[in-house]
Amino acid sequence: MLQNLKAQPADKILTLMAAYREDPRDTKVDLGVGVYKDASGNTPVMRAVKEAEKRLQKEQTTKAYVGLAGDPAFSDAMIDLVLGDTLPRDRIAAIATPGGTGAIRQALELIKLAAPDATVWLSDPTWPNHPSIIKYLGMKSKTYRYFDKESRNVDYVGMLTDLGAVLPGDVVLLHGCCHNPTGANLTMPQLDGVIKLLQDKSAVPFVDIAYQGFGDGLDADAQATRKIAAAFDNVLIAASCSKNFGIYRERTGILMAVCKDAAQQPLAQQNLAFLNRQNYSFPPDHGARVVTTILNDPKLRADWEAELEETRNGMLGLRQQLADELRRLTNSDRFDFLADHRGMFSQLGTTPELVEKLRADHGIYMVSDSRMNIAGLNEKTVPILAKAIVAAGI
């Protein structure tokens, strides 16, 4: 049987991780996978997470199954974090999932059950795993223009033009904040325009929010998601705790399905629980319990928010430093967009050949589409990167 297997396409982010590990140069700089690193290159366990884990270790008396949807207290805390008081709780069905990717996968499976003929619209570019999972599930998908490689800003006109072809019932995937891979985000007036168009088209928005707290702050980063949730009968929201709680390997995420009204919620909830059962039965609990403990304890929450702010401001500082350095070296404002982008990533908007040159000549690793992880930099590596960008003729 196994001899019939075919090699599967490689994921470009994971391939890059492996290549970086094998590079013997001690001057190498990893700007690949989206993992936060502090100035010493470590991905620390956040203080509040350590404390919550200590408490759990002391107080937890059982590891028995929780429930197919996960712990309701986790859902409540996450719905509050992402949506605030945007919607009545009884309009939202939710399941805990293994990470944000698990939430995306379950959302797509839910779409398959509810609207098997719907096309899922993805931004061009988007996180490579979006199209990969859609293809794997045999679903229809199309792309809409998103990024203008000249200005390195959102191609708003192109986006609206392409979304003009959305059919009723199609699903449009939007990044809640900190667009991955570009770092370019819609302004609020632009978002209003997209919402209006999608309402006119009777489309269903699907929001992927994996970086809440990494852009402009916890509430500011949730603003787009909240606006969208308030504007449609049905919205799917996949949220990840990997980045903002730094619990990547614990696989902690949630899928929320906004229902038209409270009467629609039980059926959606039952379908979500069914999907968990089919795919992995009970979702992982440890990370979810840590998150719930932090969000429901005012002291832990304040400490978590403070550390998240340090992280966010650190990334903003690196963005500004890099933009300033490139302004100085090029005597132009060509790279000012780096300071305007938000989140972990910025896309330089250059060719795979020049990205490869950065790797070969300078040991700088970024994804072939020229996405770089800003959190992979530090004050010392920013000038090295700036010089390399100029030397490569980008």
Q: Please give the size of the binding site for ligand LMR, defined by CB under 6 A.
A: 5
The residues near 19 (Cβ < 8 Å, ≥ 6 apart) are: 359, 365
Residue 133 or 386 with smaller CB distance to ligand LMR: 133
DSSP 40: T
Residue whose entry in the numeric block shows the structure tokens 């974090």 = 81
- Paired strand residues for 205: 172
Residues known to be catalytic:
127, 208, 210, 243
CB 149, CB 124: distance < 8 Å:
no
Q: H-helix or E-strand containing 275?
A: helix 265-279
Under the binding rule (CB under 6 A), the answer on residue 244 touching ligand LMR is no
Measured from the CB of residue 228, what is the shortest distance to ligand LMR in angstroms?
Answer: 21
CB 317, CB 329: distance < 8 Å:
no
Residue 92 or 174 with smaller CB distance to ligand LMR: 174
Measured from the CB of residue 243, what is the shortest distance to ligand LMR in angstroms?
Answer: 8
Residue 34 or 349 with smaller CB distance to ligand LMR: 34
> Among 86, 97, 106, 180, which residue interacts with ligand LMR (rule: CB under 6 A)?
180
CB 193, CB 227: distance < 8 Å:
no
Please count the CA atoms within 13 angstroms of the CA of 289 that sit on its side-chain side.
Answer: 19
Q: Binding mask 61-100 vs ligand LMR (x if CB under 6 A, - otherwise)?
A: ----------------------------------------
Residue 86 or 240 with smaller CB distance to ligand LMR: 240
Under the binding rule (CB under 6 A), the answer on residue 33 touching ligand LMR is yes
Measured from the CB of residue 34, what is the shortest distance to ligand LMR in angstroms?
Answer: 3
- Which of 375, 377, 351 minimizes the C-alpha distance to 364? 377
Under the binding rule (CB under 6 A), the answer on residue 49 touching ligand LMR is no
Under the binding rule (CB under 6 A), the answer on residue 17 touching ligand LMR is no
Residue 124 or 297 with smaller CB distance to ligand LMR: 124
- Which of 197, 207, 206, 123 minimizes the C-alpha distance to 166? 197
Q: H-helix or E-strand containing 240?
A: strand 235-240
Residues forming contacts to ligand LMR in the complex (CB under 6 A) are 13, 33-34, 127, 180
